Structure 1
Amino acid sequence: MYGKGRQHALQRLQSEIEKQLNVAPPYKKSDPQNPLAELENKLFANNQFTKVAVYGLGGVGKTQLVLELLYRVREKDKNSSVIWIQATSMESLDQGYHTVARQLGISGPGGKDVDIKKLVQNFLNDDTAGQWILVFDNADDIQMWSGKTRSESQQSNRLIDYIPRSKTGRVIFTTRDRKVGVKLAQQNVIEVPKMTEDTAIRMLRNSLIDKSLVETRPADAKAILTWLTHLPLAIAQAAAYINENGATLADYLALVHCQEQEIIDLLTDQFEDDARYPDSKNPVATTWLISFQQIQQRDPLAAEYMAFMACIDHKDIPQLLLPPGSSRKQEMDAIGTLSAYSFITRRAEDLAIDLHRLVHLTIRNWLRNKGELAEWTRKAVAQLEEVFPDHEHRNRAMWRTYLPHARHVLESNLIAKDDCSRIDLQWKIALCYYSDGRFDEAEAFFREVMEFRTNVLGAEHPDTLKGIGKLALTYHAQSRFPEAKALGVRAMEAQKRILGEEDPETLSTMSHLAMTYSDLSQWKEAEELELQTMEFRKRILGVEHPDTLVGVSNLVYLYNCQGWWKQAEELGKQIIAARKKVLGVEHPDTLLSIGNLAHTYNNQGRYQEAEELLVQVMNIRIKVLGKDHPHTLSGMSNLGVSYHNQGRWDEAEAIQSQVVAARKVLLGPEHFSTLTSMAHLSLTYHSQGRRTEAEELGLQVMESRKKVLGPEHHHTLTSMSSLASFYLDGQLVKAEELLLQVLAIRIRVLGMGHHHSLASMEQLAGMYRNQGRLKESEDLEAQVEEARNNAVS
């Protein structure tokens, strides 16, 4: 009887394997993530009874892996018996045991009252049974195994107690739940990893009717497999869709970039699959929902975490972002449950979680169909708003990890535009984007908040005016100075009237407006407003308050703009010392002050001292802010200027070219800072003797500055002067025309005695002298000397 039963078992095994091999080709021994070797080693390393559990995400190929191993075992040993039982439910398991008993040709007295599981156990425990492997496929319900259950013989026993034991026997469980695997097989658990790209491509090719689809469009094949996360069941489902519809890989790839609902339709599309049990659900989304329902029953907090994570971005989820449980242990257990089902991947190094991307879509759709997605999205917004930190530098690492999730939940459009939690979250996001130099994104959020507050609270509510002030600050950062000035004046005047001129918000707006005046070359107005603001802050907040120090720093910038190097240096050293003490050396504001002092040194010709400071600033900014942050690029740009001033033109060109490219991408080709770095690069080209490139770039900068800043802006005039110096090499008429224009504008706007006006006169006098026009040169030089004497006296 035993021989006959073994023959039937082997026939059943061969039938199952033939089905599976049409779907998932065997792992190659050379595959870097081949789990077959590990499974075989755990089963047969010792000549004794062994239990092994194979676990992984639903559809990852656990069953295929085990069948593949058994096929190889059969090739080595024709006498090994294999017993396969579907353990999805108690009904399927009982049916499996009855089938095994028939195959083995065993029965006992008592007819229907016989305990079939006990008979099979006793048969396999006997050494005469020979070599055997017993597989329990889909053993996902631990209660089914560990709970008391009444058998046909009316005896109460645990299912786990029926597992046979023999030195010639082996038992394999497949399960989606690692926790179940550990309970059934202790430490002998093996995770089925994601397939490698090569293995996934082999499977896709073997599953398609038209094999040439993969060969002719390999890039499309790889893109599809990446989207399907190399998941065997998902690949089989995609291949079935392509086969049934006569589609191309490009057709399928277009579908996965459609609306979310269409993607879900693909994941839930039923398809014929001989490799799966007749009563099982084969669409990949349905497979996961079965697991999710098991989680709901077993661990409600884990199910809540899944619903919450379905509303935010699927990757880099900080554990601190998850809603709190009743205890830390309950939270850890919930995360452990999701990890055990392979729905999430935990990263121990940063306490973050990655949710499987297709699972993310599936759970979203399940919530949508239940009418719960909008409610969970509201919960996600409320949780984010509660835990989202302020935009202070000390919180940068945290809010950078929270930002993608905040953006994702707001972009779902499931939350009303006037929801208070939504508005509060948008405000926090806008402040962080501004702090991170992402000004276009900050503007969009500031604008939404301002419009909401204007409509709901009124045009002159303090919160509305605060929003207007921040939007003005963002315009300034985008080099939209006239718009920034208009909004800044509007906010300042209203705040003075409603809050008073000593209110912190009023003073903040005034200080920001002063900087806008400065960048509009309205230095007198800027200085007056900044001094007024600073005096208020000293009296109200104290001399070392960070806001007071902002005003001092702004004055250093103003003094540099006006060429007052001595005052800039003295005040610059004071502000650096104060900010190091109050904020620390790595704070962005401290680094800004160090950069300003380096700028002062550059203008004084103290290039080596400037370089030392600038290298320090750049290295810290790269570490703290990142290499593409606007402040980092500013430090790099200034370092390039220092290299240029020292005659190290190749080093200057290398760093300036890098800054120009980065700023064009980050800020745009016509941004104030982008044009500044382009102007520096054009000067370096000229110093290298690359005259054509210098003139072309210099002309581009001048025209852009005229358009963006206006023809009388200081930086526009600087570009004209630089271009004129390029023309001195042979285009004297053009050079003179530009220099005369610059001089006329500077005298009219700044006055005869301003250092910029005097510099223009000296440049023009030098050109006349080189041309032999000595009388004109001497007249200009005399005017410069007289103006400087008058300034001293």
Structure 2
Amino acid sequence: MRLLQLGHYPSFSLAEFTEDEIPPYAILSHTWGPDGDEVTYKDIIDGTGSGKAGYDKLRFCAVQAKNDGLGYCWIDTCCIDKTNAAELTESINSMFRWYQNAIKCYVFLADVSIPGGEDDRDSLLRKSRWFTRGWTLQELIAPQCVEFFSRKRERLRDRKSLEKQIHQVAGISVHALRGEPLSRFTIDERMSWAANRITKRPEDKVYSLLGIFDIHMEAIYGEGEHHASRRLLRELERYSGNHQLKMLFSKHRTAKLAITGLGGVGKTQLVIELLYRVADKPNHCSIIWISAVNMESLHQSNLDVARQLGIPGCKDDKADVKRLVQAHLSKESTGQWLLVFDKADTIDMWIAKAEPGLQSGQGAHPLIDYLPKSKQGAIVFTTRDRKIAVKLAQKNVVDVPEMGEDAAAQLLGKCLVNADLAKSWQETSALLLQLTYLPLAIIQAAAYINENAISLADYLSLLAEQEEEVIDLLSEEFEADGRYRDIKNPVATTWLISFDQIQQRDRLAANYLSFMACIEPKDIPQSLLPPGASRKKEVDAIGTLTAYSFVIKRPVDKCLDLHRLVHLATRNWLRKEELLAQSTERAILRLGEVFPDYEHYNRTVWRKYLAHASYALEGDIAGEDNKARTSLLWKMGMCLYQEGRWNEAERAFVQVMETCKKVLGQEHPDTLANMANLASTYRNKGRWDEAEELEVQVMEMSKRVLGPEHPDTLSSMNNLSSMWKAIGKQPEALKLIDECVQLSKRVLGVKHPYFLTYSATLRACRLESKG
């Protein structure tokens, strides 16, 4: 930003500042006279211009700024080098912010003098030419403080004291004049404020609105008002969902909004754009992102959020972190926040009763009951299911439509390294039609074109060569909503073209894609991927998949996201090639290698892997008695047990138990150990009868198979006695634990930890019996 320096007034010099070092400054709002009367950038540089009529406005601004204790001021006529097109565009796009950040804005009304009476003064103010000009709209609304001065430099009044008259003259909402965020006003309302304003150059009628709509556009003088308006309308259409999102904070309650649309249409990108814009605002707003793909990703996201916010109690392994996050955000002292639930596509997680989390004895609650409530908060959901959108956000639903041809062409042009390729409208239009204007397909096609330096016509020929029956197979399970009309599925087609090349050029990248198709597609830790021949090979492979927009790298947590439709196309390809079972088995083997045991110090790692293990274990492999599958199921069950997620732990233990019985036999030590785990899970869920039955079986079989003095047998006796004590069978509990203590004393000795544990159980039983 360039400012007039007032230290050597009455002469002026210019000083340039970076964004983070701009000093306090005043700003001048005025109406331009003839071009020859205004002091220009060149005049200041050359030390000329003092004889021009407009120099008087510089003197006025300088004197007033110095009176207000300011050493700098900004004036549009001379602080911008208008001969530099790039600088002019940057200034036009920055001007609203510059007015916002000014300490004071002085409005110099060259056609107003102070008459004798108050009524006459108001009448002259209303008739001032200043209120009819296009650029003065943003200059009236943006600054913190606006003061009006007559042509004789006499202070008239300020915006606050004149808001009623300004509202009547300009039609601008009083709330906007008081500094309410413009995002709270509709596009039509803001357009109406500028309807009757005029500018010297026709394009400026459009460019002067950029700040009002928080839109950034290139200034192209000579294009005319019509073309400039069309470009503005396209940008407004692109960001219309964004403006609705910003209105989330306009109500005195927790606002909710759902963004819905087809897979690949850009829902998540729309919300990310919103977050960048919210982050740029001066008012602090905490931004929280929750992955709602499944219960595991949601649980992990809540844990990460709780740690980042420093919420007390989040390190407790038994804490219900969803409830902790809810309570924290519901406090007014937390301040303003925006909470995003991305990929909320499963209705049963939200409306039906779901396992709430981490504490024994809690009743099940739908996730919708865990949403925080605060008038300073806003919640955004992205979902492919409009029914879910309505249930979560009622009428506050934004439908993200499929891209129109103009917007799709813009996206293609931005993605191409050689933008000249898109200059042929015939080829561009034909390609976009084949890709059904779907952003994901456009990005993938552009990546291939960039990689191979081919033309749009060449890529169109590749699309035509793909066999329809192959594409149909790759497209199974895609949304059957008529989006693709009679054209081959664009995601499957572009995926196949790129994947063929990846297979030839980077086999490890292709292997990674096949691996990721067999696990949960979101939040994939890079440490989970199978090792390559070298670290460089691994980096190159991930780079290849990123270049083709198959995956998105998340540098903060070193995780990858695979787009759902890419995930689906890859799975369908593996199925077509009869490789899905083999790839799933490899994924399970890899998970078994890296999945840690259930010790508490491994908790962070296993939480990242749980969703992927769960997904892989649901897939088809060579046989359900597969040893690697059973081992991974057991590891996962033990970790789920440590998390207090009894329902999920039970499902894992039941599967392991049935497999062990089938493969190893009912009395095998591994089978007995898993039966004991399942019995303990039943106890934690309050299913006492089933727990007792299993514990009795385990103890009796252990005595028969392992012998009465085996440590595992003694452990089963202790477990059963503890349960009998818990359900009121005191005599049975006391007798059994007494026998256990005597055996362990003889076998293990009085100093063995197990003997001490069993002795403690015996003392507890005796005390309870006496009580």
Q: TM-score, normalised by structure 2?
A: 0.39
Please say which structure displays the higher CA radius of gyration. 1
More helix by share: 1
